[in-house]
Amino acid sequence: MPVMSDPITLEVVSKRLGEREVLKSVSFAVKTGDVFGYLGPNGAGKTTTIRILLGLLELTSGKANILGEDVSRDEARRKVGFALEQDGLYENKTAWENLSYYAWIYEVAESAERIDKVLDLVGLQDRANDRVGTYSKGMKQRLALARAMIHDPELLILDEPTSGVDPSGQREVREVILNMAHGEGKTIFLSSHNLDEVQRICNRIALIDRGEIKLCGELEQLQQEMSNREVVIETAEITSEPLFAELKSIPRLGLQEGRGRSLIFVPQEGVKVPEIVSFLVGRGVGIEGVSRKKASLEEIYATILEKAELS
């Protein structure tokens, strides 16, 4: 059985533009089935990375592959669908005509069936014969996603797919992307400034700043690792003032505050959550729930960039 290659692999990729080193030994892999978020401030190197992946720019050094093919090869480009900030649509043509043109470019067999399928996938079948110039920004973005899917690629590369789209349109685009990932089984590489969007739909992320990867991994794990260890214990009743004072008098338990029936702790190193729960139960407190607060993607992003500024 042949060994399956990761959809995207970059190994110590560097890129110079004149005297400026835009990418500095960038390495990461996108796994099959990932919705992979690629984050970073303006000028960090996100667009340069995408252009290298699509064969639009040559790398200076290193190695970049798509599904086992070097990104410079035509075979690699045939295996990927993409939607960039410029949607690549012809506004004086209908949605059907746009997709028919791209189906011809990609030599799609039974193209009429495929056009119907992708229009249905993005929720535009009822507007198939309307000129794209009459579409809203969100509808154009959904049609751009349909265009990216027309040749049924294994991998999708999306650059700011909700840029300039209103909240309702963002939700629609996000639902299409999730359907592509989970319903159609596509691997998705998503570059975005919208941290809320990335947190909602991505399972793995990489953060690039000034051409260097600062963070890469499973989003859930990163959120746990970078949390402030905050523990929230929900109690059956509001904690009495004497018990609250007793908890505050034991610094290692790390009581921070009480909010109604919620007690918030940041326990010191070595203190386990069951110890806090046992203490409360021993004082006759009914426990209704215990949860750990995860760091938000916004908190992770700000922390990493702040560290980069200080280094």
201: domain CATH number is 3.40.50.300
Predicted TM-score (pTM) of this structure: 0.83
Whether residue 2 is contained in a domain is answered as no
**What does the pLDDT look like over 50-85, one tens digit per residue?**
999 999 999 999 999 999 999 998 888 888 999 988
What Å distances lie between residue 90 and 46, 53, 100, 146, 156, CA to CA? Answer: 26, 25, 12, 14, 21
Model pLDDT, residue 4:
67
Whether residue 298 is contained in a domain is answered as no
> How far is residue 269's CA from residue 259's CA, in Å, rounded to a whole number?
24
> Residue 27: is its pLDDT beyond 80?
yes
Residues 54 and 188 in one domain: yes
Residues 129 and 239 in one domain: no
Residues 257 and 180 in one domain: no
Count, residues in the chain: 311
Residues 42 and 161 in one domain: yes
Residues 284 and 173 in one domain: no
Whichever domain contains 242, its CATH number is 3.30.70
Residues 181 and 37 in one domain: yes
Q: What is the mean pLDDT of the chain?
A: 92
What is the domain count for the chain?
A: 2
Whether residue 157 is contained in a domain is answered as yes
**What does the pLDDT look like over 259-291, one tens digit per residue?**
899 999 989 989 999 999 999 999 999 999 998
Boundary-marking domain end, from 213, 243, 272: 213
The whole domain housing 39 covers: 31-59+73-213
- Centroid of chain to Cα 229: 24
Whether residue 148 is contained in a domain is answered as yes
Whether residue 308 is contained in a domain is answered as no
User: What is the band of 227 on the pLDDT scale with cuts at 50, 70, 90?
Assistant: confident
More confident: 87 or 39:
39
Residues 90 and 207 in one domain: yes
Model pLDDT, residue 45:
95
Residues 82 and 140 in one domain: yes
> Residue 2: is its pLDDT beyond 50?
no
Quote the percentage of the chain above a pLDDT of 90.
Answer: 77
Residues 133 and 205 in one domain: yes
Residue with tokens 């600062």: 214
Model pLDDT, residue 307:
81
Which whole number is the average pLDDT over 92-108?
95
Model pLDDT, residue 212:
96
